Amino acid sequence: MDKRLTGLVAAVFTPMCEDGSLNLAQVPSIVEHLVRTRINSIFVCGTTGEGPSLSSEERRATAAAYVEAATGKLPVIVQVGHNSLAESRGLASHAQAIGADAISAIPPIYFKFEAIKTLIDCLAEISSAAPKLPLFYYHIPSMTGMNFDMVEFLRAGGRRLPKLAGIKFSDSAIPKYQAAVEFENRRFDVLFGSDDMLLSALCAGAAGAIGSTYNFAGPLYHRLIDAFDRGDLDEARKYQALSVEMVRIFRRYRIHPALKTAMKLIGLDCGPSRLPLVTLTPEELQAMKKELAGIEFFDWALPKE
Reading phi first (left if > 0) and then psi (alpha if -120 to 50, else beta), residue 39 is in beta
CATH number assigned to the domain with residue range 7-236, chosen from the 4 options 3.40.720.10, 3.20.20.70, 3.30.70.20, 3.40.50.1970: 3.20.20.70
Q: Which residues of the chain have pLDDT under 70?
A: 1-2, 303-305
Please tell me the predicted confidence (pLDDT) of residue 18.
95
What angle in degrees, to the nearest 10, is found between the helix axes of 174-182 and 150-160?
Answer: 30
**Catalytic residue positions, numbered:** 138, 168
- Peptide linkage before 52 cis (omega within 30 of 0): no
Residues 205, 208, 212: CA angle, nearest 5 degrees: 125
Asked, as a colleague might, if the bond just before 303 is cis with ω within 30 of 0, I would say no
Residue 22 DSSP class: B
pLDDT for 17 = 97
Q: Which residues contact 55 (CB under 8 A, 6 or more apart)?
A: none
| Closest CA relative to residue 142, chosen from 169, 177, 181, 174 | 169
User: Per-residue pLDDT tens for 266-288?
Assistant: 999 999 999 999 999 999 999 99
pLDDT of residue 304: 61
Q: Is 286 exposed, middle or buried (0-12, 13-18, 19+ CB in 10 A)?
A: exposed
Distance from C-alpha of 125 to C-alpha of 117, rounded to nearest angstrom:
12
CA-only gyration radius of the chain, Å = 18
Q: Find all residues with CB under 8 Å of 112, minimum gap 6, and list them.
A: 145, 146
What pLDDT does residue 1 have?
60
- Does residue 126 contact residue 156 with C-beta atoms inside 8 Å? no
126 in Cβ contact with 86 (< 8 Å)? no
Domain ranges of the chain: 7-236
Measure the CA–CA gap between 236 and 222, rounded to whole angstroms: 10
pLDDT in tens, 71-109: 999 999 999 999 999 999 999 999 999 999 999 999 999
In three-state secondary structure terms, 219 is: helix
Using the Cα atoms of residue 210, residue 213, residue 215 and residue 220 in order, give the sign of their dihedral: negative
If we measure between CA atoms, which residue out of 78, 74, 79 comes closest to residue 36?
Answer: 74
